[in-house]
Amino acid sequence: MAMKKRARGEEKEEDGEQGSEFAKLPQECVLHVLAFTTPRDSCRSAVVSKAFLSCTSSDALWERFVPSDYAEILSRAVHPVEFSSSMKELYFGLCKPILIDGGKLSFHLERSTGGKCYMVPSSSMWMAWRDVWRHWRWISHSDSRFGEVTQLVSVCWLEMTGSINSGLLSKKTWYTAYMVFKLASGAYGLNSPPQKVSVSLGTYSSDRFITLQQDDDDDDDDQEEEDEKGKRKLRDDGWMEIELGDFYNDEGDKGEVSIHLRQYEALHFKHGLLIEGLEFRPKI
């Protein structure tokens, strides 16, 4: 028993010595190590040692996590982004969506990785017969960050496209594209057959089928299975989102990510879709 206690005491003493040796490292070395992690991992490391704790509040570290073009992004904001001189405060401020480019885009950082996220409003998308009042309308919506959404009134030929410049997105990063939407009361025709979606960037292209609306006769178990397959879920902001497809952003500043959704094999009428926009977020 005494031998075990002595051994444990020696282990603790050795650990303490190692910790104290680590604490003697120059802060620049610790910052260099943390810069190769993610913002989430850096924050977690603060509980490991006092050396990490000191560095996780350093502007030098958080300046590496905010986008290199953050000043240019801030200059495009519709409303000024308020923050103190702390780069850490700026980082977490940018994790909340802000409107840029006169409200034509929404931008925020993915909180755990610092990847760039954008939403393209539905007003910037193309829809078949979008300028015909009896088919599509643009209405004010208090729950939308853009203040206005697109409402599907009635179409039998459902087709829409949207795009974003890949140069805006984080480089060398896998992304997922989402449609952000709601279904109005009395919506119909959006359940079956499913809608086909193509996501393309450069020579890459992928197709998948999604279902925007649950069948009326589906039970809860079927709904859970459908949501899992379609990756459809309720967001914290009250909107629904559904995965449209993944892509790897390796096109530099000259690529364009294109989304093409359609359902016109079955020419029944469709009604009640409210579209806020297309969102592009890094996969985590």
Query: How far apart are the C-alpha atoms of 187 and 98, rounded to whole Å?
Result: 30
Q: What percent of the chain has pLDDT over 70?
A: 84
Q: Are residues 130 and 217 in the same domain?
A: yes
78 is a domain residue: no
Q: Which residues contact 116 (CB under 8 A, 6 or more apart)?
A: 67, 107, 109, 110, 168, 169, 170, 282
Give the pLDDT of residue 59. 81
129 is a domain residue: yes
pLDDT digits (tens, 9 = 90+) for 187-231: 999 999 999 999 999 999 999 999 999 876 555 555 554 444 467
Give the pLDDT of residue 33. 72
How many CA atoms lie less than 13 Å away from 49 in the CB half-sphere? 17
Average pLDDT over every residue of 112-123: 96
pLDDT digits (tens, 9 = 90+) for 16-68: 444 556 667 776 777 777 777 778 878 787 777 776 777 777 888 888 889 99
Question: What letter does residue 147 receive in the DSSP assignment?
Answer: S
pLDDT digits (tens, 9 = 90+) for 38-47: 788 787 877 7
Question: Number of structural domains, the chain?
Answer: 2
Q: What percent of the chain has pLDDT over 90?
A: 64
pLDDT digits (tens, 9 = 90+) for 87-108: 889 999 999 999 999 999 999 9
Cis peptide before 193 (omega within 30 of 0): yes
Residue type, 147: G
Most distant CA atoms of the chain, gap in Å? 87
Query: How far apart are the C-alpha atoms of 87 and 60, rounded to whole Å?
Result: 8
Q: Are residues 267 and 178 in the same domain?
A: yes
Average pLDDT over every residue of 161-176: 96
234 is a domain residue: yes
Query: How far apart are the C-alpha atoms of 160 and 275, rounded to whole Å?
Result: 11
Quote the tokens at residue 139. 């209405």
196 is a domain residue: yes
Quote the tokens at residue 87. 């780069």
154 is a domain residue: yes
End position of a domain, from candidates 31, 47, 64: 64
pLDDT, mean over the chain:
86
Give the pLDDT of residue 216. 65
pLDDT digits (tens, 9 = 90+) for 246-266: 999 986 667 999 999 999 999
Residue 114 region by backbone torsions, left for phi larger than 0, else alpha for psi between -120 and 50, else beta: left
